[in-house]
Amino acid sequence: MATIRDVARKAGVSAASVSRVLKNDTTFSVSQKTRERILEAAGELGYNKCFEYSAIQGTRGTIGVMLLYGEEEEVEDKFYQIICVNIKMELEKNGFKVKEVFESMLDANASKISDYQGLIFVGYSTLWYQKKVFRQAVLDFGLPVVCADFHLKDGSLTADCVINDFKQAVKKVINIFLKKGFDSIGYMGTYGLEANGKIHRDERFLYFRQIMKSLGKYDEKNIYLCPSNHTQFGYELGKEIIRKGRLPRAVFVENDTMAIGFLRALKEEKISVPGDVAIVGCNDDQVASFVTPGLSTVKLHNDLVGMMAAKTLMECLYTKREQGLKIIVPNQLILRESCPE
C-alpha cells in the first residue's frame, strides 16, 4: 500500500507538502503545477488515505450529496458512483452523516435544505437550472456548496469546484494520434443537455473542437453525436458511421462504455482496430482492459475528485472562508491494443 512518502518521492516534493495539498490547506502557498503533480502522483499510486479534521469536531452533522442525474446512470455508467462512494467514505470517516438525493427528488426535498450543514453537487450542471424549487431553496438558505466534476457558472451562487482536467485529457489523446501520423481524427459523444433554451455541450467535445480548430484539422464530418453515451448508443452510432463509409483514421470517444459499443460494431463489420481505425476512450472503466482489443483510454481519478470534494467542504465549514476555490485533478493516458504506443 502506498504511503505519503511514496507520493512525495514520485511528485518530487516533501511529505509535508503532500499532506497539506491533500488536506486542501488553503493557507499553503503552492503553484497549480505542483498541486497537479501531487494529485497525479497520489492517483497513480492509489493513495487516498483520509486525513482527520480534528479541528472540526464540534461541527459534525449531515451533508447533503445532491445527485444531478438519474438512478439509471449508476446502473449503466459507474462514473458518478466512484465519485459518490469516495465523498461518502471521506465524510463518514470524519464523523458526518451523508444523505444522498437523486435529481427526481430534489424539488420535493427543497424544504429540507436546512437539515444540512453543507451540500455537494454531483452530476450535470444543467439540471441545477432545471430544478427551480431546489435551486431557489439553496440560494435562499446560503449553505456552502462544492461541485464535484463540474464548474457551476451561476452568478447567483459562488461555489467551490473539484473538476477533472478534460482539456489535458483531450490534448493527450490528440497528441498521441498526431504522433502516430493520424491526420483524420474524429470524435464520438453526446449532443449535450439543454437548459434555459441553450445546449450545453460536453467539455470533452468543446476542448476537442477548440484544439483541432487551432491545429487547422477540425472536420465537422468526423463529429459523431447522439443522445446518450451508453454502450448501445455507441454501437448503433458506430453502425451508422460504417454504413455511410465515413470512418476517420482515429476516434476519441467521450467515455469507455460508448467506446465498447463502438468496438463491437467495428468487430461485426470486420473492421480492424487499430489497423483500420484507432480508438481511445475516457474514464478507464474496469472492463476497458478486458475487452478485445484492450481499450486505450484516459484514466480519470474520480476517487480523488470525490475525496477532494469532501475535504474541500469540510475545510470550508471549519474556516468559514469565502467560496470560489477551483481544484483541477489531472489524469493519465493508458495505451492498450486499440491504440498501442
DSSP, residue by residue, 313-333: HHHHHHH-PPS--EEEE-EEE
For residue 289, give the C-alpha cell.
Answer: 482492459
| Residue 224 near residue 237, CB atoms below 8 Å | yes
Residue ranges in the chain whose pLDDT is less than 50: 50-59
Q: Which are the contacts of 284, defined by CB distance < 8 A and separation ≥ 6?
A: 256, 297, 298, 299, 300, 332, 334
Where do the domains of the chain lie, and which CATH numbers do they carry?
Answer: 4-45 (no CATH), 58-164+301-331 (3.40.50.2300), 166-300 (3.40.50.2300)
pLDDT at 73: 66
| Residue 279 near residue 296, CB atoms below 8 Å | yes
How far is the C-alpha of 188 from the C-alpha of 185, rounded, in Å? 10
How far is the C-alpha of 263 from the C-alpha of 234, rounded, in Å? 8
Q: Which are the contacts of 288, defined by CB distance < 8 A and separation ≥ 6?
A: 256, 259, 260, 281, 294, 295, 297, 336
Kindly state the DSSP code that residue 258 receives in the 8-state scheme: H
CA quadruple 148, 154, 159, 160: dihedral sign:
positive
Q: Which are the contacts of 160, defined by CB distance < 8 A and separation ≥ 6?
A: 144, 145, 146, 147, 312, 313, 316, 323, 324, 325, 326, 327
pLDDT at 195: 64
